[in-house]
Amino acid sequence: MDFEPYRGELVAYCYRMLGSFHEAEDLVQETMLRAWKARERYDGTRASVRTWLYRIATNVCLTALEGRARRPLPSGLGAPSEDPGAPLSPAHDIPWLEPFPDARFDTEVRADLRLALVAATQVLPPRQRAVLVLREVLEFTAAEVAEQLGTTAAAVNSALQRARAALAENGAGGMEDVAEPADPEVRAVIQRYVRAFEAADVPALVRLLTDEAVLEMPPVPLWYRGSRDYGRFMDRVFALRGTGWGTTTLTANGQPALAAYAPEPDGGHRLHTLQVFTVTGGRVARNVVFADPRVFEAFDLPPRLPSENFRRER
């Protein structure tokens, strides 16, 4: 019995449940081990191998989530800062939401993984979270989800209604399609952003933002809202770290992203952050900036780039 063809989609599922790519990989490994040990008890007349694996993965995730704090983004913890000079003190005691490295998985696995939605689902109780993902994203039937959770179809439908209502109340919206990073308009916006960023041209950056653009930087808990404060903070960044940055474009969570490399005195560039963008209506509406070395490892980002090689696509 071969379980490997399901590994990618199971990692994406566990990531949606936990909000951590590293934990998702570990939980899928545990799922595979449990499935292998129970393979003789598998009954193909009751469920497909895929449905059976999701039942095991769901139980593994629910166990892992017992007593666990949710993984937020800074914008989910309080009001935005209005001080562009506020101390950038990381809060390592908070289990921050992590991004998902698209390049390691196929495009079908990456559907509905956008950061804002994953962050919103983290607010839901674990069983509601499982119902929402299994029904809305993975499109299992209510009966199949009931079997996976050991409950009834009526209870599944009730939990789904509560989950949808909670997401709507938090302004997360539904599972609607969003523009892909390869969309020509999105690519054009990111290309203009990259040029402005590498040139440290803050006015040009600001022109690419929506009026209510959000900038957040886990593990730093503060965040900013509005193109004015976004621009003021970028002025600070370039004043502190200099100009002549390098970038590598990529994708994360099915969204456009860039790896930013700060200039070094020797002329090279050192990895500084991974930035994940939400583009709407031809403007950048959100930029989530990650500075965790574990995130860099998940994306297999080189720690340095030589100066002659600094704008690449991955």
What pTM was estimated for this model as a whole?
0.92
Tell me: the pLDDT tens digits for 211-244?
999 999 999 999 999 999 999 999 999 999 988 9
- Cite the residue boundaries of each domain of the chain with CATH code 3.10.450.50: 184-313
Task: Give the separation between CA 116 and CA 258, rounded to whole angstroms.
Answer: 17
Tell me: the pLDDT tens digits for 143-173?
999 999 999 999 999 999 999 999 888 776 5
pLDDT of residue 314: 54
pLDDT of residue 175: 46
User: How many angstroms from the chain centroid is the CA of residue 294?
Assistant: 14
Domain spanning 4-169, CATH class:
mainly alpha
User: 178: part of which helix (H) or strand (E)?
Assistant: none
pLDDT of residue 268: 87
Beta bridge partners of 101: 252
Joined tokens for residue 144: 């199949």
CATH number belonging to domain 184-313: 3.10.450.50
Tell me: the pLDDT tens digits for 113-142?
899 999 999 999 999 999 999 999 899 999
Given a contact cutoff of 8 angstroms between Cβ atoms, the answer to whether 108 and 55 are in contact is no
